[in-house]
Chains A and B, each alone.
Chain A
Amino acid sequence: MAEEIIIPGYKRWLVSIGDQVGFLMGFFRNLFAGGFEWSEFVRQCYEIGYRSILLVGITSFIMGVVLILQLRPTMVAFGEASMLPKTLAVSFVREIGPVIIGIICAGKIASSIGAELGSMKVTEQLDAMEVSGANAVQYLVVPRILATSIMLPVLAILGDLIGLFGGFLALNLRDVISFKLYFTKVIASLDFSDLLPALVKTIFFGFAIGFVGCYKGFTSNRGTESVGIAANTAVVTASLWIFIIDAIAVQITSLLFY
C-alpha cells in the first residue's frame, strides 16, 4: 500500500509535482537499468497501436472528409479550388492530424492505462509485485510509456494517410480529380519542415499519454471509485499536455524552419 499522506491545500500540488518528477526519474532509471521487458513491450505495442487503428482510421477519415467539405465553398469563392489538396495536406499533416490523433489516443489509451493500473492498485497487485521484490516500474511502466511513444507516430502517419484519402473522396463528391493527381499535389505541397516536426511532436504526445496514464494509475487511491477517477484524470491531464506540447512545438518549429 502506498503511503497516503494527508496534506492540506497548495502543499498537495507541490507534493504532486515532486511525485511526478520522482516518477519520471524512476522511469528513466529503469529504462537504462537493463532487463528490458521485450515481451511486455511487444504486447503493449499491440494493445496500444494495433487496437487503436480502427478508431484512429475512422476519426482521421471523417476529419479529412469534413475539412474538404468545409474548405471547398470558401476556396471555390476565391477561385482557388485547385489549392484544396495542398491546403488539406499542410493543415492535416502539420497540425490537425497529430493533435486529433493525440486527443483520440489520450481518450482511449491514457484512460485504459490509468484504469488498468488503478485497478491493479485497488486489488493489491501492485503491492504484491513490490513485496515480491519485483520491479513494478520496469515491468509495467517502462514498456507502456515506450510503446505509446513509439506507436503514436505510427498511428499519426497512418491517420494522416487515411485523412488525406478521405479528403480525396470528399473532393470527388463535387469535383473530379484523379487519385494520382490528388496525391501528386499532396506530396508536392509537403516538405521536410512539415513532416519532421509533426512526427517528433507525436513522440512527445505518446510519451505524455503513457506517462500520465501510468502515473495516475500508480498513484490512485484505494476503492473502486478511484479507478474511475484515475481513468478520468488521466484523460483530462493527457489532453491538456497534448495542447501544451503542441504550443511549444509550434514555437520551436517556427524558430527552426520558418
Chain B
Amino acid sequence: MTEEETITKKQASKKPKEVVIAIKGLEKSFGDNQVLKNISLELDKGENLVILGRSGSGKSVTIECIVGLLQPDAGSVKVFGEEVAGLTEKALKDLRLRIGFLFQSGALYDSMTVRENMEFPLTRVLKIKDQGEIDKRVAAVLEAVGLSDAVDKMPSDLSGGMRKRAGLARTLVVDPEIMLYDEPTTGLDPITSREISELIISIQKRNKTSSIIITHDLECARIASDRVLILTDGQFSKEGTYDELLKSKDKNVASYFNIS
C-alpha cells in the first residue's frame, strides 16, 4: 500500500458519520404525566438503533414525535437536518415519504386486500400510474418479506406474523431511507419473532436503511441492534452495544437483561 493510499484510507476512516435523525432535549407530556424528560439521541446513516424500555416508558412517543404524529412540548427533532415541527404540510409529507413506520399491529387497511394495501401508497402518494411498474414493485416487496402467496388475501385472513410482514412490505414498497419499527415482535411466537428480527437486518443490508427499533424483546435487540439505548421513566439511562449492556454491572441495566 502506497503512502498516498494509506493517507486516503485514514481520512476515510475519520470521515464524520452522517446523522439522519437528531433529537435534542425532547420533552412530551400528556396532562400531568411527563412521558419524555429531556431526551437526546442521534441516529447515524445505516445504523440500527434499538430503544429498549418497559411499557409506558415513552418509546413509542419518541418515534411518533419523529414523524410528526405528536408535537413535542420542548426540544428539537431533526430528520435529514430538517426541524420536523417547523415543516409545512407539503414538506412534512415529502419527509414522511423518506421514512417508513411499522406499527405494532401492522395497521393494514382492513377493507383492502394485501395487494391493494401495497398499491395504496404507490398510487396515492407516489402517484404511479403504470400498472406494470406497480405490479413489479408489489411482487418484489412481497417476495422480500416472504408473502408472495398472500397477495390476494384480506388482512383478516392473515396470522399475526403475516400481518407484520405485510405491514413491513407496505412500508418498504416506497423505498424509505429510514425505518421506524414500533414493537415489531410483540405478540408473536419466538420463531416468528426471530424471523422478523432477521428480516429487519436483511432490510438494513439490502435497502441501506437507518432504523430505530422500539422493543422490549431482548432477542430482537440482540439480533437487530448495532447500538442499544435504554429508556427508563422518560430518560435514556444507558447506551452501548448489546454485548456491552449484557455485561454491565449497573443494576438498572442488569434488570432489563434479567441478570441479578
Chain A interface residues toward B at CB < 8 A: 1-4, 6, 120, 123-125, 127-135, 139
Nearest Cβ in chain A — how far from B111, in angstroms?
Answer: 8
Which residues in A have their C-beta under 8 angstroms from that of B101? Answer: 128, 131-132
**Contact between chains at A124 and B103 (CB < 8 Å):** yes
**Contact between chains at A134 and B71 (CB < 8 Å):** no
**Contact between chains at B97 and A127 (CB < 8 Å):** no
Which residues in A have their C-beta under 8 angstroms from that of B120? Answer: 132, 134
Nearest Cβ in chain A — how far from B174, in angstroms?
Answer: 7
**A123-B121 CB under 8 A given contacts A128-B103, A131-B99, A133-B96:** no
Chain B residue, CB-CB nearest to A138? B124
Chain B interface residues toward A at CB < 8 A: 30-31, 64, 67, 69-71, 93-94, 96-97, 99, 101, 103-105, 107-110, 120-121, 124-125, 167, 170-171, 174
Nearest first, the 5 A-B pairs at minimum CB distance are: A128-B107, A6-B31, A124-B107, A133-B96, A131-B101
Which residues in A have their C-beta under 8 angstroms from that of B103? Answer: 124, 127-128
Nearest Cβ in chain A — how far from B163, in angstroms?
Answer: 11
Give A131 to B120 CA distance when docked, in angstroms.
13
Interface pairs (23), CB distance under 8 Å: A1-B64, A6-B30, A120-B110, A123-B107, A124-B104, A125-B110, A127-B69, A127-B103, A127-B107, A128-B103, A128-B107, A130-B96, A131-B96, A131-B101, A132-B121, A132-B170, A132-B171, A132-B174, A133-B96, A133-B97, A134-B120, A134-B124, A135-B124
Give A120 to B105 CA distance when docked, in angstroms.
12
B94, B103, B174 — most chain A CB neighbours (10 Å): B103
The listed residue (B69, B109, B170, B174) touching A130 by CB distance below 8 A is B69
The listed residue (B94, B97, B104, B109) touching A125 by CB distance below 8 A is B109
Give A3 to B69 CA distance when docked, in angstroms.
8
Chain B residue, CB-CB nearest to A6? B31
Nearest Cβ in chain B — how far from A145, in angstroms?
Answer: 18
Which residues in B have their C-beta under 8 angstroms from that of A1? Answer: 64, 69-70
Main SS class of interface, A:
loop
Which residues in B have their C-beta under 8 angstroms from that of A124? Answer: 103-105, 107
**Contact between chains at A133 and B93 (CB < 8 Å):** yes
**Contact between chains at A4 and B99 (CB < 8 Å):** no
Give A246 to B120 CA distance when docked, in angstroms.
40
Chain A residue, CB-CB nearest to B174? A132
**A139-B110 CB under 8 A given contacts A130-B69, A131-B67, A131-B69:** no
The listed residue (A6, A125, A132) touching B125 by CB distance below 8 A is A132
Nearest Cβ in chain B — how far from A213, in angstroms?
Answer: 16
**A139-B124 CB under 8 A given contacts A1-B64, A133-B93:** yes
Which residues in A have their C-beta under 8 angstroms from that of B167? Answer: 128
Chain A residue, CB-CB nearest to B94? A133
Which residues in A have their C-beta under 8 angstroms from that of B121? Answer: 132-134
Chain A residue, CB-CB nearest to B108? A125
Give A1 to B105 CA distance when docked, in angstroms.
14
Which residues in A have their C-beta under 8 angstroms from that of B94? Answer: 133
Which residues in A have their C-beta under 8 angstroms from that of B70? Answer: 1, 3
Chain A residue, CB-CB nearest to B182? A124
Give A123 to B163 CA distance when docked, in angstroms.
12
**A132-B69 CB under 8 A given contacts A6-B31, A125-B108, A125-B109:** no
Give A3 to B125 CA distance when docked, in angstroms.
24
**Contact between chains at A133 and B69 (CB < 8 Å):** no
Give A123 to B111 CA distance when docked, in angstroms.
13
**Contact between chains at B125 and A133 (CB < 8 Å):** yes
Nearest Cβ in chain A — how far from B236, in angstroms?
Answer: 22
Nearest Cβ in chain A — how far from B248, in angstroms?
Answer: 33
Sample of 16 further A-B pairs with CB below 8 A, known A133-B93, A133-B96: A1-B70, A2-B69, A3-B71, A123-B105, A125-B108, A127-B69, A127-B103, A128-B107, A128-B170, A130-B96, A131-B99, A131-B101, A132-B171, A132-B174, A133-B94, A135-B124
Which residues in A have their C-beta under 8 angstroms from that of B97? Answer: 133
Nearest Cβ in chain A — how far from B89, in angstroms?
Answer: 10
Give A133 to B64 CA distance when docked, in angstroms.
14
Which residues in B have their C-beta under 8 angstroms from that of A134? Answer: 120-121, 124-125
Give A74 to B103 CA distance when docked, in angstroms.
65
Which residues in B have their C-beta under 8 angstroms from that of A3? Answer: 70-71
Give A4 to B67 CA distance when docked, in angstroms.
16
Nearest Cβ in chain A — how far from B65, in angstroms?
Answer: 10
